[in-house]
Amino acid sequence: MIRYDLRGFGRSALPEETRYRHHDDLRALLDWLGIPSAALLGHSTGGSIALDFAVSHPEAVHALVLFGAIAHGYEFSPDFAAAMQAIYASAQAEEGIAAAKMLWLRLLAFQPEDPGAEDELHRMVADYSGWHWLNADPVLPREPPALQHLDIIRRPILTLLGERDVPECHRIAAMVDQAVPAAEHVALAGLGHMANLEAPARFNDAVLAFLTRFARDPGSPGPA
C-alpha cells in the first residue's frame, strides 16, 4: 500500500506559485515508482483526486474506491457551502485557525467505536497548518470536470461512506452509482465522514472484500 501527502499537508511541501493539478501529481508519483496500474482509494478530497485521475488515465486504474468522496464540478447545497465559507471566514478573523478547526470537526458526524479514534482525529487536525484557509492555492481543477465523463470509467468502483456522512457525499456517491455500470455501493451503519477512524475493522472489511475480488489487474502480478 502506498499513501502520500498532498501539497501543503503532512510532510509534503506547501504549494508554490506554479499552477498544478493534484491528479498530475499522482500520475508523476506512480510513474516515478514504476507502477503502470493501481487500485486507488480516495477519501473526501482524495476521492475527487482519484476520480479525476481515473477519468484522465483510465488505463492506469484497475479498481477504484471512492470513500466519502467529493467531486469537482458538483454544486454544493447552499447550507453546505455556507458552512464551508464560515470555516474560511473564521480562520481569517480574530477567532483564527483553532476556531476554524472546531467548525470543521462539527461537520464530520463523528461517532467512534474505537475509544482512541477521537483523540487521533483531534491530533491530526491540530497538526494541520491551516495554510489552505489563509492562502490562495494555485491548484487547477480538471477541465472538464470528471463528473461529466464518468462513462469513461469501465473498471469496478466501490462508493463507500458512513451512513451519517454529510448529504453532499451521499448525493455524489449516488451520481457515480447511476453513471457507472460497474459501481457497487456500501454505507456503513451509524458512522460519519471519518468511518475509517470510527470503526477501522468494519471499514477495512468493506474495502478488502471489494479489492479481493477486483483489484488484481490481469496484466500485472497483483494489486498495487
The pLDDT confidence band at residue 216, using thresholds 50, 70 and 90, is: low
CB 143 within 8 A of CB 115: no
Taking only the tens place, the pLDDT of each residue in 164-179 is 999 999 999 999 999 9
Taking only the tens place, the pLDDT of each residue in 12-39 is 999 999 999 999 999 999 999 999 999 9
Full-model pTM: 0.91
Average pLDDT, the chain: 91
Give the model's pLDDT for residue 95.
82
pLDDT at 213 over 60: yes
Q: Which of 125, 128, 146, 178 is nearest to 74 (CA)?
A: 146
- For the beta carbon of residue 117, count every other beta carbon within 10 angstroms: 18
Taking only the tens place, the pLDDT of each residue in 44-63 is 999 999 999 999 999 999 99
DSSP state letters, 188-217: ETT--TTHHHHSHHHHHHHHHHHHHHH---
Q: Which three cell numbers stand for residue 209?
A: 472484500
Q: Which of 67, 74, 58 is nearest to 23 (CA)?
A: 58
